[in-house]
Chains A and B, each alone.
Chain A
Amino acid sequence: MIWQSWSDFWSMGGAAFFVWGSYGVTFALIALELVLVLRRRKQVVHRLQRLRQAMKASARRKEIHQ
């Protein structure tokens, strides 16, 4: 076994800042990217749905006027 204890593991032989700083920022960026991608999908679908409804409504208005 490489590590004597959990605190031994977390201290990374004195390199905790460099090791966890690398892993922490990487996983934070991945989480951020996933959130942004999924939010973007929702926004696009909502916007396109509104656009579509607006177009339908204006088409109906035209029919009534004719």
Chain B
Amino acid sequence: METGQRFSLFRYAAPQQFYPLAGRLAPWFAAAAVVFTLIGLYLGFFVAPTDAVQGEVYRVIFIHVPAAWMSMFVYLIMAFWSAVGIVFNTRLSAMMAQALAPTGAMFCFVALWTGALWGRPTWGAYWVWDARLTSQLLLLFLYFGFMALTRAIEDPRRADKAGAILALVGAINVPIIYFSVKWWNTLHQGASVSLTKAPSMATTMLMAMLVMALAAWAYTIAVVLWRVRPLILERERHTEWVGDVLETSEARA
């Protein structure tokens, strides 16, 4: 019984078990993402009031902050899987890291893009070389570097290892981004929401932002599960179970 339970806990670490699980879970997360997005947009555009100082342009926040959070979270999760891969030598970890990178890069770009469009009317500039913006730009380059590196190396094991090291070293940048607004004098405002003090924004604005953040989480999980599935098939193509999958999806594909 004991070993049976332990077995079931680590069961899904095996690509063969994880592949169908990912396929079953992804649509649910995608549906959750759609629902949260609709609720978040409704709250953001029809419930949250006009900002007293910034007017309507502040509504960029409902994308900007969740995207910026996501770009940092995804990198940390990528670094986490990379560490797991190095320590335990599990096959699935590197595939997860590689499936996460493009979505992290997408959110990173969105954070920079919406930040630029928000900066122009409020600061008078699309871009300034301040600590927050520069470290966020560095994050985008870290994502691109990870993707380029893992794709450039032919041997998967070496590609995984090189990518993992880059992901782990680059993770130092994430706390730098987060605390940049405290450590340096920057144009970017401090955190609107933190664990230590009450949020500095109206409740409805905060709600809209948090619901959009949930949407971003759900979207990320769905798209990463969809992206990791073909990666698993490619890596495990010599196994019998992938053969079975290919036989059965012959009709569907």
The CA-CA distance from A11 to B100 in the complex, in Å, is: 36
State whether B57 touches A12 (Cβ < 8 A). yes
A15 closest partner in B (C-beta): B57
The CA-CA distance from A37 to B242 in the complex, in Å, is: 19
What is the size, in residues, of chain A's interface with B at 8 Å between Cβ atoms?
A: 32
State whether A33 touches B103 (Cβ < 8 A). yes
Decide yes or no: A42 and B253 within 8 Å by CB, A18-B120, A48-B234 being known contacts.
yes
How many Å from the CB of A41 to the closest CB on chain B?
Answer: 5
Q: Chain B contacts of A48 at CB under 8 A?
A: 233-234, 237, 242, 246
Q: Give the dominant DSSP class at A's interface.
A: helix
Decide yes or no: A37 and B226 within 8 Å by CB, A25-B113, A45-B249 being known contacts.
yes
Contact of B110 with A by CB under 8 A: yes
State whether B67 touches A26 (Cβ < 8 A). yes
Contact of B50 with A by CB under 8 A: yes
The CA-CA distance from A25 to B233 in the complex, in Å, is: 32
Tell me the B residues contacting A by CB distance below 8 Å.
45-46, 49-50, 55-57, 59-60, 63-64, 67, 102-103, 106, 109-110, 113-114, 117-118, 120-121, 219, 223, 226-227, 229-230, 233-234, 237, 242-243, 246, 249-250, 253
Tell me the A residues contacting B by CB distance below 8 Å.
2-3, 9, 12-15, 17-19, 21-23, 25-26, 29-30, 33-34, 37-38, 40-46, 48-49, 51-52
